[in-house]
Amino acid sequence: MTAAADPTQRLGRAGGNDGTDQAVRLVAWANIFLLGMFLAQTVAVIVGGFPAPSAALSGEGGVGSWIMLLLYPAAALAAVLYVARTPLIGLREDCDRISAFNITLVRGAFFAVLFVGIVDASLSFMRIEDFLAPIVGQELSDSLGRSLFRGPWVHIPLTALGFAVGIFFARGTLGFTWLALLIVVAELLIVISRFVFSYEQSFMGDLVRFWYAALFLFASAYTFYDEGHVRVDVLYAGMRRSSKGVVNAVGCLVLGLTLCWTILLLGMSASTAAIVAPMLKFEIPQATTGMYVKWMMAGYLAFFAITMLIQFCASLMDAVADWRGHPGHRDHDPVAPA
């Protein structure tokens, strides 16, 4: 969806942005700014060795931990300043901007797992069949057999390449369409190799799971943006648009944002947390013939929470705009009463 060209739509509703609109924008942008600060501090503390902000509360971290802790209210203040300096941006336009950014992230992630999946599965196949050493040499072949080498030197560069392709060279497309097709192709190859050639290795099933998990978790934010998720709610379908806006706004605040922050705080709060620990160790499955991407799949959950949190913030503004009768509604249900 593109930003509205009509000045009244740019303002969010005829007559301009009022205090309620600005307050909703502030809640949404504060969550996004705090998310950025949380991710930056997580990297700084766990990878860079900076003092954790939680240490300030226990009196063990010194000045550094207090600085890290105070960066959170600074992020909230930055959101206040941004909203105050952009009073003419309406809820619909802000929703469009945030959603467009989020879709770009998702598109880049799809290309990243596409490249990593193809290359890692190929490397696993060549190692198993002893094709790799004659091609790249024994030393490099042995190094590629270690996750602490393959992760930083193969997976991370391919991930960066995937995001670059998704952001700069594949605008206007979403990679999950092709990813879904490749999942079917990969499963078909398993069936053919198993029942025709009696050949099966762990990496073949790993590739299907690697791509299918990405398809499910990465597409969630875009599907939510496009209102493609199934609603098991008899009452919602018959509501007026304003009533649906209230339900959606409350759902975004009470259920959506709470869920995403819970995943991030529990999964990324320490080096031993469920999401961070496998990523730091470049964890792989026990099967020696499998792919070396288990650590990336742990990061899928973090990416899911990040993109969903961003989309919940965008949808919060869109829902409030529906509740208040702002122009520019994207009509997913043409028969619904206005």
The pLDDT tens digits for 80-116 are 999 999 988 889 999 999 999 998 899 899 899 999 9
In the predicted model, is pLDDT for residue 331 greater than 90? no
Long-range contacts of 198-204 (CB under 8 A, 24+ apart): 201/124, 201/125, 201/128, 201/289, 201/290, 202/285, 202/287, 202/289, 202/290, 202/291, 203/120, 203/121, 203/124, 203/125, 203/128, 203/289, 203/290, 203/291, 204/121
Residue 15's pLDDT band, with cuts at 50, 70 and 90, is very low
Query: 335 falls in which pLDDT band (50, 70, 90)?
Result: very low
pTM of the predicted model as reported, rounded to 2 decimal places:
0.87
Look at residue 57 and tell me if it is in a domain: yes
Q: Which domain holds residue 51?
A: 9-89
* pLDDT, mean of residues 166-170: 80
- pLDDT above 90 as % of the chain: 45
329: confidence class by pLDDT, cuts 50, 70, 90: confident
Please check whether residues 79 and 101 belong to one and the same domain: no
* Residue 222 and residue 117 share a domain: yes
Check whether residue 77 and residue 167 sit in a common domain: no
Last residue of a domain, one of 28, 59, 89: 89
Asked if the structure places residue 156 within a domain, the reply is yes
| Cα 14 from Cα 37, distance rounded (Å) | 35
Residues 163-170: contacts with CB within 8 Å, 24+ apart? 163/108, 163/109, 163/111, 163/112, 164/108, 165/108, 165/111, 166/104, 166/107, 166/108, 166/109, 166/110, 166/111, 166/112, 167/104, 167/107, 167/108, 170/107, 170/111
Pick from 170-184, 236-250, 260-274 the range whose average pLDDT is largest.
260-274
80 with 36, same domain? yes
pLDDT score, position 336: 43
Which amino acid, 312?
F
Task: Give a yes or no: residue 336 inside a domain.
Answer: no
The domain total for the chain is: 2
**Is 78 in contact with 90 (CB distance < 8 Å)?**
no
pLDDT per residue over 120-166, tens digit each?
999 999 988 888 889 888 999 889 989 999 999 999 999 999 999 98
State whether 144 and 230 are in the same domain. Answer: yes
pLDDT above 70 as % of the chain? 87
| Residue 191 belongs to some domain of the structure | yes
Q: Which of 66, 89, 112 is the last residue of a domain?
A: 89
How many residues in total does the chain contain? 338
pLDDT score for 113: 92
Confidence of residue 271 (pLDDT cuts 50, 70, 90): confident
